Amino acid sequence: MKKGIWLGICLLLFAGNIPAQESGQAQFIVISKAPKKARVAIPVFKVKALSVESFALGEELSDLLGKDLQKSGLFELIPRESYLRSSQITPDVEDWNAWSILGAQAVIRGEISEFSPGQFEITLKLYDVLVQKAGLTKIYKGPKASLRRMMHRFADESIDWLTGKRGGFESRIAFVSNKTGRKEIYFADSDGFNSMQITDSKKLNLSPAFLDDSRLYYVGYERGNPDLYLIDIFSKQKTLVSGQTGLNISPAVGPAGKKLAFSMESPGNNLDIYIANPDGSKLQRLTFNPANDLEPSWSPDGHYLAFVSDRSGSPQIYFIDLYRGSEADGNYPIRLTLKGDYNTSPAYSPDGRYLAYSRRIGGQMDLFLIDFMSEDKKTEVQLTSTPYNEEDPCWGPDGRMLIYSANPDGNYDLFMISIYSKEPVRLTDWASDETQPVWSQNLFERGG
Q: List residues binding another protein (CB under 8 A).
A: 51-52, 117-118, 144, 176, 178, 183, 204, 206-207, 219, 224-226, 246-247, 249-250, 263, 265, 269, 271, 292, 294-295, 308, 310, 314-315, 342, 344-345, 358, 360, 363, 365, 389, 391-392, 407, 410, 435-436
Q: Which is nearer to another protein, 208 or 280 (CB)?
A: 208
Q: In sequence order, what DSSP letters do the residues of 143-181 get, joined into one string?
A: EGGGHHHHHHHHHHHHHHHHHSS--STTSEEEEEE-TTS
Q: Which is nearer to another protein, 112 or 176 (CB)?
A: 176
- At 321, which amino acid appears? D
- Please answer whether residues 265 and 271 qualify as being in contact, where contact means their C-beta atoms are separated by less than 8 angstroms: yes
Shortest Å, Cβ 52 to another protein:
6
Q: In sequence order, what DSSP letters do the residues of 282-345 get, joined into one string?
A: S-EE----SS-EEEEEE-TTSSEEEEEE-TTSS-EEEEEEGGG--GGGT---EE---SSS-EEE
Q: Which is nearer to another protein, 19 or 363 (CB)?
A: 363
Enumerate the β-bridge partners of residue 284. 275
d(CA 399, CA 165): 10
Shortest Å, Cβ 249 to another protein:
5
Q: Which is nearer to another protein, 87 or 407 (CB)?
A: 407
Shortest Å, Cβ 193 to another protein:
18
Shortest Å, Cβ 391 to another protein:
6
Closest CA to 157 of 106, 216, 90: 106
Q: Which is nearer to another protein, 136 or 365 (CB)?
A: 365
Q: In sequence order, what DSSP letters do the residues of 30-88 get, joined into one string?
A: HTSSSPPPEEEE-PPPEEE-SSGGGGGHHHHHHHHHHHHHHHTTSEEEPPGGGS-HHHH
d(CA 72, CA 420): 8
- Please answer whether residues 274 and 262 qualify as being in contact, where contact means their C-beta atoms are separated by less than 8 angstroms: yes
Shortest Å, Cβ 224 to another protein:
7
Pairing of strands 248-253, 238-242: unpaired
Shortest Å, Cβ 285 to another protein:
17
Q: Which is nearer to another protein, 24 or 181 (CB)?
A: 181
Shortest Å, Cβ 263 to another protein:
8
Q: Which is nearer to another protein, 103 or 246 (CB)?
A: 246
Q: Which is nearer to another protein, 332 or 342 (CB)?
A: 342
Shortest Å, Cβ 313 to another protein:
10
d(CA 159, CA 161): 5
Sheet holding 434-439, edge to edge: 196-197, 184-189, 172-177, 434-439
Q: Which is nearer to another protein, 247 or 402 (CB)?
A: 247
CA dihedral 181, 187, 189, 190 (to 10 degrees): 90
Based on the number of CB atoms within 10 Å of its own CB, is 272 exposed (0-12), middle (13-18) or buried (19 or more)? Answer: buried
Q: Which is nearer to another protein, 70 or 316 (CB)?
A: 316
Closest CA to 394 of 446, 340, 353, 345: 345
Q: Which is nearer to another protein, 82 or 314 (CB)?
A: 314
Shortest Å, Cβ 292 to another protein:
4
Residue 204's Cα: distance from chain center in Å?
Answer: 25
- At 246, which amino acid appears? G
CA dihedral 268, 315, 349, 361 (to 10 degrees): 170
d(CA 244, CA 246): 6
Q: Which is nearer to another protein, 267 or 410 (CB)?
A: 410
Task: Identify the helix (H) or strand (E) that includes residue 25.
Answer: helix 23-30
Shortest Å, Cβ 226 to another protein:
7
Cα–Cα distances (Å) from 308 to 190, 249, 250, 321, 354, in that order, read 27, 13, 10, 15, 16
Shortest Å, Cβ 247 to another protein:
6
Shortest Å, Cβ 9 to another protein:
43
